[in-house]
Structure 1
Amino acid sequence: MQFREMRRKRQQLSQEESIGILRRATAGALALLGDDDYPYAVPISYVYADGKIYFHSALTGHKVDAIRRHGKASFCVIDKDEVHGEEYTTYFRSVIVFGRIRIIDDADEKLCTARMLGNRYNPDDEESLQKEIAKSLAHMSMICLDIEHLTGKEAIELVRTKDYFKK
């Protein structure tokens, strides 16, 4: 698959900046091909690790059905969204990811994913995490999005600020 190049290249963030956003943000919108081929986008928490994005889910539902039916997805994270009404614009910074998505079937990978998510949102509480995993893991799906293409973009006003400081 040949992914589109960003049209406004000056606003494109580096891979390092984009990955930094994925590491820093805590939620995004996962977009899937839903029922009757309608787009289905769902807000969701996640963890980024080694070129992959991991999520958790119930065992059944619209999201799980969509993933099982079609293995491609998009995920968007908004890092900055600052409205400047007087300028009729928004100072934004965001990342969009495209890739292959799957339900994790391997028990060891599922456990590892649960631990990554737990440690991300409640760090340094191993005892509580162990209890939660013991209680809930059998009732959860773990999901992996293998990133095939990633782009970050920011408002031209933010780019101009960076350019100013480079002088």
Structure 2
Amino acid sequence: HKLESIRAYDKGSFNVLGEPQKADDGWSYFFDSVTAFGRLREVTDPAEKTDHLRQLGNKYFPNAEMTESDIQKNGGRCAVIELKLEHMTGKHVHER
């Protein structure tokens, strides 16, 4: 369903929240937020897809062998979606 939606309408965003910090009042929080906006595309070229999976795996797996093993086992069952950045916004929020 999500891939069909991306194929029909390729605009998308990705949001990252920073670690919240408790305010001096003891109950509200401050946090930073960044949102990236752009065009989404499904990576269909096998070599490019493997490269993206390798970069992601090498960031989170303890070693390259585990990354390669997981790509071999699961790479064919996943989709890789790329966000081509068009613009970005950020803010510092005091949530009450």
Instruction: Identify unmatched segments of 5+ residues in structure 1.
Output: 1-61, 157-167
1:113 lines up with 2:52 in the alignment: yes
Q: What TM-score, normalized by structure 1, do the two folds share?
A: 0.51
> Secondary structure at 1:86's aligned position in 2?
coil
Equivalent position of 2:33 in the other structure = 94
Deviations 1:62-115 (A, max 9, x none): 322221121000111101223438377421111011000011011111011100
Higher relative contact order (CA 8 A, sep 6+): 2
User: How many pairs were matched up?
Assistant: 94
Instruction: Identify unmatched segments of 5+ residues in structure 2.
Output: none
Find the aligned partners of 1:107 and 1:82 in 2 and give their Cα distance: 42
Find the aligned partners of 1:87 and 1:127 in 2 and give their Cα distance: 46
Find the aligned partners of 2:27 and 2:89 in 1 and give their Cα distance: 25
Q: What TM-score, normalized by structure 2, do the two folds share?
A: 0.84
Amino acid at match of 1:140: C
The correspondence for 2:74, drawn from 136, 151, 154, is 136
CA-based RMSD: 2.0
